[in-house]
């Protein structure tokens, strides 16, 4: 097979210049807005996966211990307590309310909702900056109205 020369296509030089301009512009935008810091990324995303892995390891250790002891009652009670505490810790750190949920009333703590939003979430940063995180309280249109 013969290779095609650039003269065959005619607009290759213009295409290469356009592509180079786009790459330069994209690099400039990336440098202007570098994204989250490593710490923010680790707290918001990475630790969530390690937390889930830690939950799995802890729950397997509980099951193996009570299996060796031979107590079904101890297994059920300690596994239920561990799962509840793991659930609460996850909600405290990473719970995110629905973005389109209207705030109907003041937040009250319950056994299953210890916090209004997680500590390491975008909502926590927005609330710290003084932004309202609930769409229902503003005059913005609801995306569900357009479906």
Q: What pLDDT score was predicted for residue 108?
A: 80
Distance CA 12, CA 10 (A): 6
- For the cut 70, the answer to whether the pLDDT of residue 1 exceeds it is no
pLDDT digits 0-9 by tens, 17-32: 788 888 888 888 888 8
pLDDT digits 0-9 by tens, 70-122: 999 999 999 999 999 999 999 999 988 876 666 666 778 888 888 888 888 88
Among 88, 58, 62, 90, which Cα is nearest to 76's? 62
43 near 36, Cβ under 8 Å? no
127 near 107, Cβ under 8 Å? no
58 near 78, Cβ under 8 Å? no
Contacts of 111-116 spanning 24+ positions with Cβ under 8 A: 112/87, 114/88, 115/91
Distance CA 103, CA 134 (A): 6
Tokens of 34: 């570098």
């Amino acid at each position: 097979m013969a290779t095609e020369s650039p003269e065959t296509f005619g607009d290759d030089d213009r295409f290469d210049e356009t592509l180079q301009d786009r790459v330069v512009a994209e690099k400039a935008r990336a440098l202007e807005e570098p994204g989250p810091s490593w710490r923010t990324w680790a707290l918001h995303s990475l630790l969530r996966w390690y937390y889930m892995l830690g939950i799995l390891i802890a729950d397997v250790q509980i099951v193996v211990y009570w299996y060796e002891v031979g107590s079904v009652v101890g297994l059920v009670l300690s596994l239920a307590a561990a799962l509840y505490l793991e659930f609460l810790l996850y909600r405290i750190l990473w719970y995110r309310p629905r973005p389109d949920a209207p705030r109907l009333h003041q937040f009250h703590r319950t056994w299953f909702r210890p916090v209004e939003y997680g500590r390491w979430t975008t909502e926590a940063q927005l609330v710290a900056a003084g932004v309202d995180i609930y769409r229902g309280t503003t005059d913005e249109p609801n995306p569900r109205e357009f479906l």
